[in-house]
Structure 1
Amino acid sequence: MGNTTPSRSKQGCMKEINKTTIFKQEEPQPGNCCCKTQVSYRIPALVYVNDEKTFLAFAEKRKTLSDTNAEAFVMRRGMLNEAQEVEWVIGHQLLSSASLPDHRSMNPCPVYERESKTLFLFFLCVPTKVSEYEQIRTNTCQGRLCYVTSKDAGNTWSQTTDLTEDVIGERIKEWAPFAVGPGHGVQMKSGRLIIPAYAYCYTGNPDCISCCCLMFSCFTPFALAFYSDDQGITWKAGKQMDVESCECQMAEIIDEEGKSTLYCNARTRLGYRTEALSYNSGADFGKVLSPNKLIETDSGCQGSVLSFLEQSDPPATWLLYSHPSDPKSRVDLGLYLNKTPLDSSGWSDQPLLILHRGPSAYSDLVEYEPGRFACLMECGIKHENEEIAFALFQLPEKKL
């Protein structure tokens, strides 16, 4: 079993963050004639089940790094001990029930329902070998909105429930590819469950049917939320944003008067992140924030966002955000802080700390105890998909 523990210097500054490898790319065996075939792991998602003091780390297991070679979800379990270290069970669990026949499972998105103590794992099912590009080229959506549940902190899982017809319905005819997350969902103070999502829509010339229009440049992703007010029994789809917003995560902001606002942070191709606010808990996102302070990396990369309660008087909600910090390439996974989360100008100009120096990509953040955080991240030495690693950390006091 491995263990991970947060570190802090006597002066309050973070030391080099200790990381534990959770999933590692497996190179082809010598003499393997398949050459490029290898087992790879991508798309991290993390959840902490407080009642069990247990972290569950999810990823896609793939034959190669390509999206079309995704096979199934894998999960590893880590238990937090009294010394504030995480002991990881050796080996991973294959989530065989989280699937549909002749489909591949993608974009794990877990959320824990606290009243019924039910863990939901939402995901996307796409027909085998059907790519995102193929769905855009044909202007058709072939994905299915699915979930499985666990009542025992991930030891056993239900069979897959397909929500596509009941929740998306006829709207799917307006979409090309869509997906959830990836990364964690949210349960709001009201009890509402939130699953972040996005869907591509055709935004080119409506009178043009030539090949030049059926390209990525003529399709734009717009974020939305799937939500439930009855502990996950029934679900609804919110309205999509009206600005570009792709892979996304959401967080609840509680102001000094106890008013709730749902915040969305989304990937774009614009050179900066889309940030938006919902005043009706995800039914729509009526306010897009500026001044677009959070930079995007090259053509974009997924990032994670998390709200937490700062122990002040009165208590205040702050936001954490993790994302590669270089504007040109996926390197140096940075952690950013916003102490005024309803105002996007409040983000720190530089990373509060670097979670991984070097190649890094997708990540997922959780707060497991007040003021204590964890991150599951794609990272490596030569390229960002060498492994998915886990780290515990606290915020550096001098920078708060």
Structure 2
Amino acid sequence: MGNKPPKSSSPALPGEPPKTTLFKQEPDGTTYRIPSLIYISDCQTLLAFAEKRRTPRDCDAKILVMRRGKQQTGSVQWSPAQELTAACLPGYRTMNPCPVYERQSQTLFLFFICVLDNVTEGHQICTGKNKARLCYVTSKDTGQSWSNVTDLTENVIGHEIRKWATFAVGPGHGIQMKNGRLIIPAYVYYIHYRCFSFHLPLTVRPHALAFYSDDCGITWQRGEQIYFKSCECEMEEIVDQENRSYLYCNARSTQGHRVESWSENGGTAFDAPHFAPMLVEPCHGCQGSVLGFAAPQQSSDEKPNGGLTSNTKTWLLYSHPTSRRTRKDLGIYLNKSPLCSTGWGKPWIIHHGPSGYSDLTRCEEDKLFACLMECGKRSETEEIAFVEFRLRDLVNSQ
């Protein structure tokens, strides 16, 4: 770990948790975007990932960077940033970090996409010619060293790629379900109709889906797409009072509200997608993060969620900008009855001002959580900051 204390952001406003800046925009325009955060309990280590870009633009992404955090004397001490040179394909830019930890083999999988240099997402959608690759690297020592890159595009997507204008994973984090299944959230811009005369796409829509593995990450498969228009997403396992398991998906939308859906077969297919009335989106949407955790014990006479009896043993957190008009005022929401579409409470604002993408994780200590978020004073691309908070902070803010 570095000997110098981490550099902090400007002082937090009243009611906000203290922030620690992990990645900051540089004078030459170098920008860090797309935060991803994971806590590995086996070694009590936080790993924070981001894209390093020449400018804030998506097409100027270059490489992934990472910092390792350890709890020391009541605060997290962070290592210097390192570039993940293993997570690269020649001639491609690396984007959308999405880690997941496999408990049995104690292996960290870092998924990402590699996109052909100088080819934008818009160009792929307009031409219907995908230039993205599905890739991952692994680590057995919590990010101190990495394997060579594995390209899954042919084996997992195969000929179906002809109908995919482009695609990506996450961004954010994946999960491992209680039955051992690994889940990597993803989305595809699917070509529903083409002009056969010119072979150009006529109808292209985004759809969320999952990549999954049932053999500790040795082989991977893709699930079916959510038929609603849905984009960047994260997923979480929900266990109900009868111990039935559901995979919950929370996805970006351009329709003013988030899209939610559930799967009863671990992401193979999703059912009943709908808009979440309590979770608003700005006009073009924004990525958000979702995190599940075991519901605290309730006394027999206590009714959570404003009198609504909880229908699950799992509660959910969700982070996202709270404004309907623009990316600002990043908030944390709590849902004590996540199988109810109206179960979301009011957000606790943890950053007042410009804010964008974020990622949540649960830390070792009971009911201690962390969020890695894009934020700033004038623009959400100014920095990526880390905050810790407790469940009681969120509950007391209501």
TM > 0.5 between the two? Answer: yes
Q: Does 1:2 align with 2:8?
A: no
Deviation at 1:214, TM superposition (A): 5.0
1:171-210 residue CA offsets vs partner (Å, 9 max, x unmatched): 1111111000000000000010000000001346x55868
Deviations 1:67-103 (A, max 9, x none): 111110100111013x4421112x2111001011101
Q: Deviations over 1:206-253 (max 9, x none)?
A: 558689x858xx421001000001110000000011001100000000
DSSP 3-state at the match of 1:292: strand
CA spacing shift, 1:77–1:237, aligned 2, 3 Å? same
Contact 1:274/1:292, CA 8 A, preserved across alignment: no
| 1:14-163 equivalences in 2 (<5 Å) | 15-28=15-28, 38-81=29-72, 83-89=73-79, 91-163=80-152
Partner of 1:267: 252
Quote the RMSD (CA, aligned, Å): 2.0
The whole-number CA distance in structure 2 between the counterparts of 1:125 and 1:87 is 31
Q: Does residue 265 of structure 2 align to residue 280 of structure 1?
A: yes
Give the C-alpha shift of residue 398 in structure 1: 3.4
Deviation of 1:394 after TM superposition, in Å, equals 0.9
Whole-angstrom CA distance in 2 between matches of 1:148 and 1:283? 24
Paired-residue identity, %: 54
- Describe how 1:226-375 pairs up with structure 2 within 5 A: 226-290=211-275, 292-312=277-297, 316-348=313-345, 350-351=346-347, 353-369=348-364, 370-375=366-371
- Cα 1:101/1:291, change in 2 over 3 Å: closer
Which of 370, 373, 389 lines up with 1:393 in the alignment? Answer: 389
Task: Give the number of equivalent residue pairs.
Answer: 375
Answer yes or no: is the 8 Å Cα contact 2:98–2:169 preserved in 1. yes
Task: Write the distance in 1 (CA, Å) between the matches of 2:344 and 2:22.
Answer: 30
Q: Which amino acid aligns with 1:139?
A: G
C-alpha separation in 2, matches of 1:290 and 1:338:
15
- What are the Cα deviations for residues 127-146 of structure 1, in whole angstroms up to 9, with x where unaligned? 11111011112111111100
Structure 2 length as normaliser, TM-score? 0.90
What does residue 9 of structure 1 align with? none
Letter in 2 for 1:2: P
Maintained 8 Å contact 1:277/1:289: no
Instruction: Kindly indicate whether the alpha-carbon contact (under 8 Å) linking 2:263 and 2:271 is maintained by their aligned counterparts in 1.
Output: yes
SS of equivalent to 2:64 = strand
Cα offset, 1:399, TM superposition: 5.6
Q: Residue 256 of structure 2 contacts residue 282 of structure 2 at CA under 8 Å; is this kept in 1?
A: yes
Offset of 1:51 from its aligned partner?
1.6
Note if contact 1:150-1:156 (Cα within 8 Å) is conserved in structure 2: yes
What residue in structure 2 maps to residue 177 of structure 1?
166
Question: Does the CA contact (< 8 Å) of 2:258 and 2:276 recur in 1?
Answer: no
Task: Tell me the secondary structure at the aligned position of residue 159 of structure 2.
Answer: helix
Structure 2 Cα separation of the partners of residues 94 and 77 of structure 1: 12
2:185 corresponding residue in structure 1: 196
Q: After superposition, what is the alpha-carbon deviation per residue over 1:263-291, rounded to whole angstroms, capped at 9, x for unaligned? A: 00000111111100000000010222455
Q: CA deviation at 1:384?
A: 0.4
Q: Point out the structure with the larger strand share.
A: 2
What is the DSSP-based 3-state SS (H/G/I as helix, E as strand, rest coil) of the residue aligned with 1:51? coil
Q: Contact conserved, 2:182 with 2:213, CA < 8 A, in 1?
A: yes
**Distance of 2:84 and 2:176 partners within structure 1:** 23
